[in-house]
A = this chain, B = another copy of it.
Amino acid sequence: MSGAASPLTARRPRFTVGERVLSYVEAVREAADQEMARDPSVIVFGLDVDDPKAIQGTTRGLAAKYGPERVFGTPLSEDAMTGAAIGMALAGLRPIHVHIRMDFLMLAMNQLVNVAAKSRYMYGGRVALPLVVRAMIGKSWGQGAQHSQGLYSFFMHVPGLKVVAPSTPYDAKGCLIAAVRDDNPVIYVEHRLLHFQKGPVPEAPYAVPPGRARVTAAGDDITLVGISFMQVECLRARHYLADVGIRAEVLDPIWLSPLDLDTILASVARTKRLLVVDNGWTCCGAGAEIIARVIERTQGEQEVRVRRMGFAPVTCPTTPALERLYYPDGRTIAAAARDLVEGRPTGWLPDERPDLRDIEFRGPF
């Protein structure tokens, strides 16, 4: 899906023709490679990072280039390996700990929530914890209950952790570089389907630092905030909405913690309408937080209409017949957005546009 042709190009920051295009996978790989070349304290480990599949290719070639001491697979021991990552960080290394599914972080919660998030504070600022945890959200082809969760709100909840969920190759590289250079624990959230995205990525290292959201498409009628893969769906929705004369502005928070509220407030000040689309469940999710903050800040000054979307409040089913209904998509987002704009249930649902069809993902996994 290369640049100009695609309706999704709005997502590219300042695209100059002839600029280099990479896939999300290549962008992640390049960021790790450049940081490892720059700083010998950067190491990469986690289950299967050094195997033939190389975590979708995101760690391809790193083991060969930097050796088994800097790039290694681990035993199936998420709890201890996370604790070990913390110990390495305490000793001044900058580990990147990789998990092929975010669901598996549930085995590492004690070390992440009770140790990583708290060490600096409970030790009175006498230690720093430069740690990056890469975790992937799965989707489709029967990933099901335990391979599809987007649990980033857990990490937003806990002080002492930073959380980032880049949705473009450009941000994937810049955010990983920023995360590696950050002296604090950063949960770096990827999405299996975003891995297939292509986009412009400068070759020289650059950082997309914490606390900066991006306006990925301009508009005046409604603000769509799309998190992780839902950013893609929001940009699809924008095109469906354009077909009925509604100009949606699309924002990508990029960093969820710290969150750039100002950019969202500036957009909402114009559009007066906010739809946050979570790549997870809505209850106590990022969308709840964004809406609560926006209302706390705007109440009494401007009237803003708000709404959340996210996974259906059920466990993810494997059958395509139900999985289709489990996730928001460009069409359902557009429908909800139009209802919000018109202030009434219109019952409208756009027919699928071929050029806006979802990425074809074919299993086995």
Binding site for B on A (CB under 8 A): 79, 103-104, 106-107, 109-110, 112-114, 117-118, 121-122, 144-146, 149, 151, 153-154, 156-160, 257, 280-281, 283-289, 291-292, 295-296, 299-300, 303, 305-308, 313-315, 317-318, 343
Contact = CB atoms under 8 A, between A and B. Distances in A.
Given A107-B110, A295-B291, A145 B121 contact: yes
B292 A308 contact: yes
22 contacts: A79-B79, A79-B107, A106-B114, A113-B149, A121-B314, A121-B315, A121-B317, A122-B144, A122-B146, A122-B315, A154-B284, A157-B285, A158-B281, A159-B281, A159-B314, A283-B289, A284-B289, A288-B288, A291-B291, A291-B292, A291-B296, A296-B307
A343 B300 CA distance: 9
Contacts of A308: 292, 296
A144 to B, nearest CB: 7
How many protomers of this protein does the assembly include? 2
A106 B113 contact: yes
A145 B122 contact: yes
A113 B315 CA distance: 10
Contacts of A313: 159
B117 A315 contact: yes
Contact of A109 (B106, B146, B285): B106
A287 B291 CA distance: 12
A118 B159 contact: no
A136 to B, nearest CB: 15
Contacts of A145: 114, 118, 121-122
A345 B38 CA distance: 50
A277 B359 CA distance: 43
